Chains A and B, each alone.
Chain A
Amino acid sequence: MWPIIHKLGSPKWFYTMSGRWLPFLWGSGTILVVLGSLWGLAFAPPDYQQGDSFRILYVHVPAAILAQSCFALMAMCSLIFLVWRIKLADMVAGAAAPFGAAMTFGALFSGAVWGVPTWGTWWVWDARLTSMLLMLFLYLGIMALRGAFASRDGGARAAAILTLVGVINLPIIKYSVVWWNTLHQGATFSLTEKPAMPASMWLPLLLMVIGFYLLFAAVTVARTRNEIIRRQPTARWVRALVQGGRHGL
């Protein structure tokens, strides 16, 4: 067990292995998102009530799912970093944060645009919108806190503590806001129930969600690789890598 964890946590091993995964992640993610968009935007049947405006769903839902998954990933990495002091976990958490914030903003923005034709307003103080907005503030706070520390290790630990506090609070925020007000429809996807939409509608959505996940993995891995190089510019294997050209490892 332990040798595997140490191997996984070694930046050099991660750099070498992720170099092999990366083209696959970028390629399959892009193909799925392009396929899903074409299918969803051009070929899926229009909604009987909302007409064509429902197609925003194909961006809105994956963005919202990714925003939450990204926070979960950051929380896991923060816990691993705080408990076992594996630096790679912190690098992943730091690399994932801007993507998560962007997805949260994307979900909010696409939701606002979608709200105009369906609810007749850009913004309502609905439970889901409000809890997403608060999650965006949490993301921004975590990123700002990491940047505010002069020492990298201090910023990393502070961000990890705040991420864990945030992840305990997110369900509380979520349910308190739900009790406060709710207008949004329930979740679109559920693992236990059969989707209410016809297959021609939810299959492109499924493609989009998987595609978004793959692109998220690609972005996070690429950013983590950059961070590894940035943090260890003097390590022997990094020097060898630079001298041996880009494709050395």
Chain B
Amino acid sequence: MTAERTATDRIAGPLPGLWQGFSATLSRDCRLRFRRRSELANPLIFFALIVTLFPLGLAPDSTLLSSIAPGLLWVAALLSVLLSLDGLFRDDFDDGTLEQLLLAPQPTGILVLARIVAHWLTTGLPLALISPLLAVMLSLPGHSMDVLMLTLLLGSATLSLIGAIGAALTVGLRRGGVLLSLLILPLYTPVLIFGAGTVRLAIEGAPVAPWLALMGAMLALSLLAAPWAAAAALKLSLDG
């Protein structure tokens, strides 16, 4: 063991620590994502399109639209995150980068967490930022905009974390896309219920802090458990 360690030290110096591994993976993933700008915009366009479809399918009635706006925006955001999940590990699985990720000296869970953070920065965060624009089009009352953004910020991070488990489980399968939605959508329902529910409470003027705290609790729980489950799933996807 010591002999091996000194051999590695001689070649590459001491092993990089947890934080270095995390930040290197995070910056690599962010850089890659920002270089594929069209892919970056796809979930946002999808989000806007779904929101546009609903008034066309229902009726251009602003009272009706404002009453269903919280749920509609949340379902649309959820589907956009789901759509972007397939790309979370797929490219790196195809070109072999994923194997390097698993071979890295840092715990895989930490590196997977870095990828999930990068995924959230490029999907969940922009979705939350443009949501007020679409909310105005659905005539959501103005005083609930900040709550909508806050729930989307908290909730989309949970969605990315839970979704990573599904993406990791299906990355080795040729047609994983449909299966991914079957696996993940039932697990997404609590986030949807609390996300849309909080916005509805805000419209009625009720206090939203307890519900936001519950959303934070869900985020904390998935932050603890999801990266490790996704790491285990990645290992088996590469084995099988």
Q: Which residues of A contact B (CB under 8 A)?
A: 82, 134-135, 137-138, 140-141, 144-145, 148-151, 153-155, 157-158, 161-162, 164-166, 168-169, 172-173, 176-177, 179-180
CB distance from B199 to the nearest CB of A (A): 14
Stretch at the interface among B47-55, B97-105, B228-236: B228-236
Nearest A-chain residue to B183, judged by Cβ? A141
Contact B183 A145 (CB under 8 A): yes
CB distance from B51 to the nearest CB of A (A): 22
Provided the pairs A168-B225, A180-B197 are in contact, do residues A148 and B190 lie with their beta carbons within 8 angstroms?
Answer: no
Nearest A-chain residue to B168, judged by Cβ? A161
Inside 8 A of B194's CB, which chain A residues have their CB? 176
Contact B182 A141 (CB under 8 A): yes
Contact B193 A154 (CB under 8 A): no
Contact A154 B186 (CB under 8 A): no
Q: Which of A82, A134, A145, A153 contacts B169 (CB 8 A)?
A: A145
Nearest A-chain residue to B182, judged by Cβ? A141
Proximity string of chain B (12-48) to chain A, C-beta cutoff 8 Å, 1 when within and 0 when not? 0000000000000000000000000000000000000
Interface flag for B126 (CB, 8 Å): no
Inside 8 A of B197's CB, which chain A residues have their CB? 179-180
B residues 172-187 near A (Cβ < 8 Å) are: 172-173, 176, 179, 182-183, 185-187
Q: Which residues of B contact A (CB under 8 A)?
A: 165, 169-170, 172-173, 176, 179, 182-183, 185-187, 189-190, 193-194, 197, 218, 225, 229, 232-233, 236-237, 239-240
> Would you mind naming 15 contact pairs between A and B with Cβ atoms under 8 Å apart?
A137-B182, A141-B183, A148-B170, A148-B179, A149-B172, A149-B173, A149-B240, A154-B172, A154-B236, A154-B237, A155-B240, A157-B232, A165-B165, A166-B186, A169-B190
Q: Which of B179, B193, B239 contacts A145 (CB 8 A)?
A: B179
Inside 8 A of A144's CB, which chain B residues have their CB? 179, 182-183
Inside 8 A of B236's CB, which chain A residues have their CB? 154, 157-158, 161
CB distance from A160 to the nearest CB of B (A): 9
Assembly CA distance A176 to B195 (angstroms) = 11
Inside 8 A of B169's CB, which chain A residues have their CB? 145, 158, 161-162
Inside 8 A of A150's CB, which chain B residues have their CB? 240
The A contact surface, by secondary structure, is helix
Contact B173 A140 (CB under 8 A): no
- Which of the listed residues B169, B186, B229, B237 has the most CB atoms from chain A within 10 Å of its own CB? B186
Assembly CA distance A82 to B229 (angstroms) = 12
Nearest B-chain residue to A151, judged by Cβ? B240
Contact B189 A134 (CB under 8 A): yes
Assembly CA distance A189 to B79 (angstroms) = 39
Q: Which of A148, A149, A155, A166 contacts B187 (CB 8 A)?
A: A166
Assembly CA distance A137 to B166 (angstroms) = 14
CB distance from B131 to the nearest CB of A (A): 21
Contact B190 A137 (CB under 8 A): no
Inside 8 A of A149's CB, which chain B residues have their CB? 172-173, 240
Contact A134 B229 (CB under 8 A): no
Assembly CA distance A180 to B198 (angstroms) = 11
Assembly CA distance A165 to B169 (angstroms) = 12
Q: Which of B173, B186, B237 contacts A137 (CB 8 A)?
A: B186
Contact A165 B187 (CB under 8 A): yes
Contact B233 A158 (CB under 8 A): yes
CB distance from B224 to the nearest CB of A (A): 11
Nearest B-chain residue to A150, judged by Cβ? B240
Nearest A-chain residue to B233, judged by Cβ? A161
Inside 8 A of B186's CB, which chain A residues have their CB? 134-135, 137-138, 141, 166, 169, 173
